[in-house]
Amino acid sequence: MTTQARLDCLCLLILYLTTGYGQEGKFSGPLKPMTFSIFEGQEPSQIIFQFKADPPAVTFVLTGETDGIFQIQPDGLLYHNKALDRETRAVHKLQVSALDAHGNTVEGPVPITIEVKDINDNRPTFLQTNYQGSVRQNSRPGKPFMYVNATDLDDPATPNGQLIYQIIMQLPKINDVMYFQINNKTGAISLTAEGSRELDPIKNPFYKLVVSVEDMGGQNEHSFSDSTSVDITVQENIWKAPEPVEIEENSTNTHPIKITQVRWNDPGALYSLMDKEKLPKFPFSIDQEGDIYVTQPLDREEKDSYVFYAIAKDELGKPLAFPLKVQVKVKDINDNPPTCPSTVTVFEVQENEQIGSNIGTLTAHDIDEENTINSVLGYKIVDQIPKVPRDGLFLVQTYSGTFQLAGQSLKKQDTPQYNLTVEVSDKDFKTLCHVQINIIDINDQIPIFEKSDYGNLTLPEDTAVGSIILTIQATDADEPHTGSSKILYRIIQGDSDGRLEVETDLQTNAGYVKVKKPLDFETVAVHNIVFQAENPEPLVSGVQYNASSFASFRLIVTDVNETPQFSQQVFQAKVSEDVPKGTKVGNVTAKDPEGLDISYSLRGDKRGWLRIDPVTGEIFSVAPLDREAESLYRVEVVATEVGGSSLSSTANFHLALTDVNDNPPRLVKEYTGLFFCYPPKEPGSLIFEATDDDQQLLRGPHFTFSLGSESLQKDWEVSKINGTHASLSTKHTNFEEKVYHIPIRINDGGRPPLEGTVSLPVTFCTCVEERCFQPAERLPGIPTVGMAVGILLTTFLVIGIILAVVFIRMKRNKGQDNVERAQASEVEPLRN
Ligand SMILES: *[C@@H]1O[C@H](CO)[C@@H](O)[C@H](O)[C@H]1NC(C)=O
Ligand SMILES: *[C@@H]1O[C@H](CO)[C@@H](O)[C@H](O)[C@H]1NC(C)=O
Ligand SMILES: *[C@@H]1O[C@H](CO)[C@@H](O)[C@H](O)[C@H]1NC(C)=O
Ligand SMILES: *[C@@H]1O[C@H](CO)[C@@H](O)[C@H](O)[C@H]1NC(C)=O
Ligand SMILES: *[C@@H]1O[C@H](CO)[C@@H](O)[C@H](O)[C@H]1NC(C)=O
Ligand SMILES: *[C@@H]1O[C@H](CO)[C@@H](O)[C@H](O)[C@H]1NC(C)=O
Ligand SMILES: *[C@@H]1O[C@H](CO)[C@@H](O)[C@H](O)[C@H]1NC(C)=O
Ligand SMILES: *[C@@H]1O[C@H](CO)[C@@H](O)[C@H](O)[C@H]1NC(C)=O
C-alpha cells in the first residue's frame, strides 16, 4: 500500500468515526445483529461500535472469526487492533454476547458481520513471465490463438481487481502496422486484419510482444501494472488453394475420383464445397478429410472449366478462414468426329474457269479443342459423280479444304452438275461430306438471225400506231431464260425519227416490229432498216457479235391523201365588245400535207356576228358584238382542200369579248308592291335595289342615286345605303291615297359613266293588318269586295231556302223532332 493510499484510508476512517461516533443509534446502541463494512489496511485500534449494556447485562464477550484482530472491551466497545486484509479474510463472522455480573449470558450471542472492503493493495501479476504461442499464416482476424493471464488479489467486483491487457510493443514492427491485437479483458491474442493478410513465415517467422496488464481498469493513476513478454511463431498456413487441376474428359474410370485436397490447419474442421456458378449439376464433392472428388465423367465440349470454393467451418458452423478457390480444367480428348458445315455444300463454277482456280472452301468443324491435334482436319475427295468427261476434275487441298479446278473441260450443256464425296478426318474419326458443284453457263453464244434480210414491205402512211408490221426472230444457244440468251432487238439504221420499235417475246425471243409514231410519206418514203440482236449480258471476252446478229429490212411508205391540218385545234382571240362592224378579230391557218390550196369557212356562227376570208383565214366582225349576250363566242372553222377529194377538217375559234360600259343601271326587279299606309301617320321610307348588266368589278357596282326631278324634292328624298341599295323617304304625311310614280336617276360611275332613270311606283293605300288593302283599279271579271259579299249572302239565302223546304217536308212526315226544329230556327233569320 502506498503512503498516499494509506492516508486516504485513514481519512476515510476518521471521517467515518468522527462524523458518527457518539451519536446514539449509529455508532453506539443496544446489542442487536449488525453488519459493518471496514476498509482493509487501516491503522490498528480502530473503534467499530459501542454496545450499551442493558441491566442486568454488565459485560460483553466476543467470539467467532476474530483472527485475533477483533476485540471487545467489557464495556461493549468493539474495535480491531490490527489492519484488516481483505485478501486474507473478506468477511468476519463474529458473535457478541452480553453477560450479567455472574458471567451468565443474558443476551446473544448476536451475529455481528464485518465485511472487509477492498482497497487496491495488490498488484496484478502475469502468471508467466514469458508466454510462447504460435499462429497460422492467414488466420482469421480476431480469432484468438493464445491467451495471457494475470491475477490480482483485489476484489474483482471492484475496479481494484479489474484488469486491462494491452500490447505495448510488437517486434518487429514494419511501417507501424500492428499485426497482433489483444482483447483487453480476456487477454486473448489474435491477428489484426493486416496481420492476417501480411504475416508470412518465409519473411519473418518470429514476433515478440510486450503485453502489460493494469488494474483499476487502467483508468486510475494509482493503478498497478505488470508486463510480460510473448514469443509468437508464425507457421505456414496449410489452408491454401490447391493447384489448378486438369481432368481428362469422358473418363471411363469408376467415379468418384479424387482430384485434389484441402486441409485446415487443425483437425476437426467441417469441409464443404460452394458452387458460385450455380450449375444445373455440380459434379464435385468433398469428404471430411478435405479430399475433393469428381463424381462423374466430364465433357469438355459441354463445359471446359469449373471454378468452385472449398470452405472449412468449425463445429458451430462458423467459417474458419477464407474459402479456397478450386480450379478445374477439363482436358480435351479426341472424342468428337468432324462435322460437315451442311448436308450439301454448293459451289458454282463457270464453264470457262481456268485450271487451278479456287472454286470454294469446305470448312468442316470439330468441336474438340481448337488448335490441338484433336481438331486438325484433313480433306480428301473420294468420289465424283458423274465421271464425265473424266474422273478427277477437281482437287481439294488437304488441310485448307479449298477446292480447285483440275481439268478445263466443263460444259454446262453436257454436265450441269457434279456431286463430290469428301472424306474429312481428324486423328481418329472420318466423316463424309457432300459437295455439289454447279456449272454456270457463260455468254459465249451470240444471237443469230434466222435470216439476214426481211425483204420489202409496203405500207400506207396512215398505218395505225401500235400495229405489228413484221416479226423477226433470232436464236441464242446460251442457257435459256438468262441474260446470256435473252435477246434485245435494236434498230440501228433507217429509223432516225423513232417511228418503229421492237418488242421481244420473253418465251420465244421473237421480235415484234411495231409502229410507234405515225409513218409519213412526205418525210421519209423509204426506210432501209438494220436490226441488231443483242444479249443484255455482256459477251465473254473473245466472243463478238458478227454479221449473223444483224438483219436488214426495207419499209416503203405510200402516200395517202390527208386532210388539211390546222396549226392548232383551238384558236383564241379577244376583242372589245364595241368594235365596229368589219373589224378583223382573228385568223386561223391550216395546211394541206399534199400541198393543195385551202378554203376556209365558218360553222356555228349562230348570232351571225363573224365572217371568214376563205383564202386568208382572217376573221372579221359583221355585226355589233355584245358581251352581255355571249362573253365567249365559239364557232368552228372548216378548212377544205381546193380540188382533189375536197377533204376538210375543223378547228375551234373562240372569241372572248371584253366588256365596255354600255348598259345603264336599272332596278333589280319590277317593284309593284311598295306602299305606305294611308293616311300616313308619320314620314316613312322604302328600300330598293339597282343592278347593271355590264361586267362588274369584284367589289360590285357603286351606284349613286338621285331624284329624277327637282320639283319632287319637297315631298321625297333618296339616300344611298350602299353600292346597290338606296332608300326612298317621304318628307311629310300629306299624300293622297293613290299611286305615285317617282322617277329616280341611277348612275353607274363607270368609264364613261352611264345613267338610267327608272320609275319607282309607290302606293298610298288603306291598310288591313299592315297589308295594303287595294281598292285601286278594278280588273275586269274580278269582283269587288261589295260584290263578293253580295254573292256570298245570296248563296247562303239559296241554301237556307232549300233547307227550309226540306225541313217543312220532314216536319210534316215525322212531326216532332226537336233537333230539326232547332236547326230550322237557326236558319230562320236567313230567310228574311
Ligand atoms: C487466468 O488464471 C486464473 C487463475 O489461474 C483462472 O481462474 C482463469 O480462468 C484464467 N483465465 C484465462 C482466460 O485463462
Ligand atoms: C477495451 O476494449 C474495448 C473494445 O475492444 C474498448 O471499447 C475499451 O475502450 C477498451 N478499454 C480500454 C481501457 O482500453
Ligand atoms: C466419349 O467418347 C466416346 C468415344 O470415345 C464418344 O462416342 C462419346 O460421344 C463421348 N462422350 C462425350 C460426352 O463426349
Ligand atoms: C447430286 O446430288 C443431288 C442430291 O444432293 C441430286 O439431286 C442430284 O441429282 C445429284 N446430281 C448428280 C449429277 O448426280
Ligand atoms: C425491194 O425493192 C428494191 C427497190 O425498191 C428492189 O431493188 C428489190 O429487188 C426489192 N426486193 C424484193 C425482194 O422485192
Ligand atoms: C458468227 O459466229 C458464229 C459463231 O459464233 C458462226 O457460227 C457464224 O458463222 C458467224 N457468222 C458470220 C457471218 O461470220
Ligand atoms: C393572223 O396571222 C398572222 C400571220 O399570218 C399573225 O401574225 C397574226 O397574229 C394573226 N392574227 C390573229 C388575230 O390571229
Ligand atoms: C346593301 O344594303 C342592303 C340593305 O341594307 C343589304 O341587304 C345588302 O346586303 C347591302 N349590300 C352590301 C354589298 O353590303
pLDDT in tens, 410-431: 888 789 999 999 999 999 999 9
Average pLDDT over every residue of 236-243: 89
Residue 824 forms part of a structural domain:
no
Q: Minimum mean pLDDT among 353-362, 396-405, 454-463, 747-756: which range?
A: 747-756
Q: Which is nearest to 310 in space by CA: 267, 352, 260, 384?
A: 260
**394-396 and 402-405: which strand pairing?**
antiparallel
Average pLDDT over every residue of 55-80: 86
Last residue of a domain, one of 394, 415, 440: 440
Assign 798 a pLDDT band (cuts: 50, 70, 90).
low
Of 68 and 307, the one with more pLDDT? 307
| 629 and 706 assigned to the same domain | no
Q: Which is nearest to 608 in space by CA: 639, 570, 572, 581?
A: 581
**In the numeric block, which cell numbers belong to residue 185?**
479483458
Tens of pLDDT, residues 773-797: 765 454 444 444 545 555 555 566 6
Query: Contact at 8 Å (CB) between 82 and 90?
Result: no
Domain that holds residue 513: 448-558
Of 737 and 473, the one with more pLDDT? 473
Residue 544 forms part of a structural domain:
yes
Query: Given a cut of 70, is residue 10 above it in pLDDT?
Result: no
Cα separation, 455 vs 469, in Å, equals 13
**Residues framing ligand 7 (Cβ under 6 A):** 573, 586-587
| 456 and 551 assigned to the same domain | yes
Q: How many CB atoms lie within 10 A of CB 342?
A: 10
Ligand nearest to C-alpha 416: 4
Query: Contact at 8 Å (CB) between 405 and 356?
Result: yes
Query: Given a cut of 60, is residue 829 above it in pLDDT?
Result: no
Q: Is the peptide bond before 564 cis (omega within 30 degrees of 0)?
A: no
Instruction: Phi first, then psi: give them for residue 791, nearest 5 degrees.
Output: -60, -45
| 58 and 42 assigned to the same domain | yes
| 544 and 452 assigned to the same domain | yes
Residue 327 forms part of a structural domain:
yes
Query: Contact at 8 Å (CB) between 107 and 57?
Result: yes
Would you tell me the crossing angle of helices 818-831 and 785-814 to the nearest 10 degrees?
A: 150
| 133 and 71 assigned to the same domain | no
Tens of pLDDT, residues 193-205: 999 889 999 999 9
335 lines ligand 3 (CB under 6 A): yes
pLDDT of amino acid 22: 37
In angstroms, what is the span from residue 148 Cα to ligand 1's centroid? 9
Query: Given a cut of 60, is residue 812 above it in pLDDT?
Result: no
Assign 823 a pLDDT band (cuts: 50, 70, 90).
very low
| 98 and 174 assigned to the same domain | no
- On the CB side of 501, CA atoms within 13 Å amount to 8
| 498 and 530 assigned to the same domain | yes
In angstroms, what is the span from residue 456 Cα to ligand 5's centroid? 6
Residue 830 forms part of a structural domain:
no
Tens of pLDDT, residues 713-765: 899 999 999 989 999 999 998 888 889 999 999 998 877 788 889 999 999 98
pLDDT of amino acid 800: 60
Last residue of a domain, one of 416, 440, 464: 440
Query: Given a cut of 70, is residue 804 above it in pLDDT?
Result: no
Atom of ligand 1 nearest to the CA of 186: 13
Query: Given a cut of 70, is residue 315 above it in pLDDT?
Result: yes
Query: Given a cut of 50, is residue 57 above it in pLDDT?
Result: yes
Query: Given a cut of 60, is residue 522 above it in pLDDT?
Result: yes
| 766 and 674 assigned to the same domain | yes
Query: Given a cut of 90, is residue 438 above it in pLDDT?
Result: yes
| 624 and 583 assigned to the same domain | yes
Return the percentage of the chain with pLDDT > 70, whole number: 89
250 lines ligand 3 (CB under 6 A): yes
Last residue of a domain, one of 235, 253, 279: 235
Assign 41 a pLDDT band (cuts: 50, 70, 90).
confident
Average pLDDT over every residue of 21-37: 72
pLDDT of amino acid 351: 86
Query: Given a cut of 90, is residue 808 above it in pLDDT?
Result: no
| 633 and 718 assigned to the same domain | no
Q: Is pTM beyond 0.85 here?
A: no
Residue 553 forms part of a structural domain:
yes
Residue 712 forms part of a structural domain:
yes
pLDDT of amino acid 819: 42
Q: Whose CA is nearest to atom 13 of ligand 5?
A: 455
Query: Given a cut of 90, is residue 575 above it in pLDDT?
Result: yes
Ligand nearest to C-alpha 451: 6
Q: Which is nearest to 431 in space by CA: 384, 377, 359?
A: 377
Query: Contact at 8 Å (CB) between 632 and 655?
Result: yes
Structural domain count, the chain? 7
Q: Where are the alpha helices (DSSP H) in 144-217?
A: 193-198
**Residues framing ligand 1 (Cβ under 6 A):** 127, 147, 149, 151, 186-187
| 15 and 111 assigned to the same domain | yes
CATH number at residue 301: 2.60.40.60
Q: Minimum mean pLDDT among 41-50, 139-148, 201-210, 238-247: which range?
A: 41-50
pLDDT of amino acid 194: 92
Query: Given a cut of 80, is residue 219 above it in pLDDT?
Result: no
Query: Given a cut of 90, is residue 526 above it in pLDDT?
Result: yes
| 101 residue type, one letter | A
Residue 89 forms part of a structural domain:
yes
| 51 and 139 assigned to the same domain | no
Atom of ligand 6 nearest to the CA of 446: 5
Query: Given a cut of 70, is residue 73 above it in pLDDT?
Result: yes
Query: Given a cut of 70, is residue 687 above it in pLDDT?
Result: yes
Assign 811 a pLDDT band (cuts: 50, 70, 90).
low
Whole-number mean pLDDT of the chain?
A: 85
Residue 812 forms part of a structural domain:
no
| Cell 441464242 -> residue | 476
CA-based radius of gyration for the chain: 72
Counting ligand 3 atoms within 8 A of each CB, the residue from 248, 249, 250, 366 with the most, and so the one to mutate, is: 250
pLDDT of amino acid 698: 61
Tens of pLDDT, residues 263-273: 998 888 999 99
